[in-house]
Each structure stands twice: as C-alpha cells, then as structure tokens.
Structure 1
C-alpha cells in the first residue's frame, strides 16, 4: 500500500483507495492464523465464499494486483493468481449477482420524505434530494460536493 501511494500521490485522497486498503487489512486479519504465503487455494476459496457478491466484485481488481505482487516477490506457494479472470488457470469464482429486491421510490414517497426532512430540520437532505433529481448524481457524488 505504501509503495502504491508513493508511486501515485493521488491515491490517498480517493475514497475508493481507503476502501481497498481496509479490504486488504481485513484480509490480513482473516489470515493471521494461516500465513498468506502458506495459504492454499482451498483456504482462499473458503474465505472468499464468506463475502457477498458485491464485496467479492469490489475487491477483485485490488486482490488481483496484490496476488501478483506476492507472486513476484516469491511470497506465495500458489501456481497462479487465484483472483485472475483468465479461464486457463485455477481461480476463485465470483458469486452470482443478486437481483434487486427493492422497488423504485415513487414520486409520492419522494415528496413525503422531502416534507418530513423539512419538519425535522434536515435542510441538507432536501438540498441533496433536489440536486440528485436535477443532475441524476449518485448519493456519494453529492456528499463529495464542496461549498465554494
């Protein structure tokens, strides 16, 4: 992680980088008993299957890089990178994506929430709701906006 931050100074300011660092730290904690350089594909499979589809999907690219790094340094007994998307080598498979279970917010519900936010004094929520309606920005993008 330090090497990546030294070679790309933009990384520390990105929320996605902090999430990836946390995922790697948790991975290290999960493999405290079984050292990663002694881990077998079955150990990694068992660990990966404990994650949800979204956790697996979000971590795949970073763990692919991490595994490549371990292999390049000779710190892995594995024959190939288990996080690769290549079909010609043994790898860890990703769970299937779940279908969405929730319904879209109706316009009536939207205005109910908007009015309740006013009653509770959540002006910022009303502003964010208005911005998202007009710009179709995601919630995370709206939270990143700065007041100039």
Structure 2
C-alpha cells in the first residue's frame, strides 16, 4: 500500500489513481479506465477519428505479488529516486501494452538506460533472474 501511494504521488499528473490489482498475475501493471471515465477501447477509436481527441486520466493497477513490484517496495525504503524512475517506466510499459507510445520517448529511454545500468552494475547473486521474473500463473489477457 505504501508503494501504491508513492507511485500515485509521483504520477499524480498522469493517472487518476494507483491501485493494487487482484486480476494481474504475470504482468506488473496495467492501465484501466477510471470508474467515471471512458473505456480504453472507446478512447482509442476517438483518438483515431478525425479531430476526436479524448484525454482521460486512467487508473494504474499494480500487481503486489509480482517480483518487480516487490523489489520496488524494498527500494522505497532505501532509494526513492529508483522507484520514481521505475514508476514512470511502469506507466509507459502499461501504455505500450495498450498499443500507445510513451508521451516523452527521450525521458523513457533515459530512465530505461539508468535502470538497466543499475541492474548490470549490481552485485550478482546466486538467484536466477529468469526464475524470479517468471513466478506466477498465466494471466488471461495480460
């Protein structure tokens, strides 16, 4: 819950809420329409039509059982700047999964580069990264 609150604060201008998901299993995040907002599919259709731009804020759902989200929760206590970068990347990841592009590709690549470098320069442990990332059951549609 502390991680969701922190991510909501970081992404306050971009999402209406950040909630813990009970539907996600393999994916760390997804975007859903706000309760009072338009459906994501309708928004895409309007965006593609001539002059139909609908800019609604969405809800970012995070999977509290995903290894990435758990690792971020641990970093929240030690390095909030990493969690800030990751919050923006997770939102962009959710956008990409919806067929969108990140609104600021330059910032996206900078953040991604920083986190990749951090991962490559971190001490190697005996745990297999592949096993950690693949935990969980199959999701339907995520």
| Bigger relative contact order, structure 1 or 2 (CA pairs below 8 A, ≥6 apart) | 2
Q: Which has the larger radius of gyration?
A: 1
Q: Relative to total residues, which structure has the larger strand share, 1 or 2?
A: 2
Structure with the larger helix share: 1
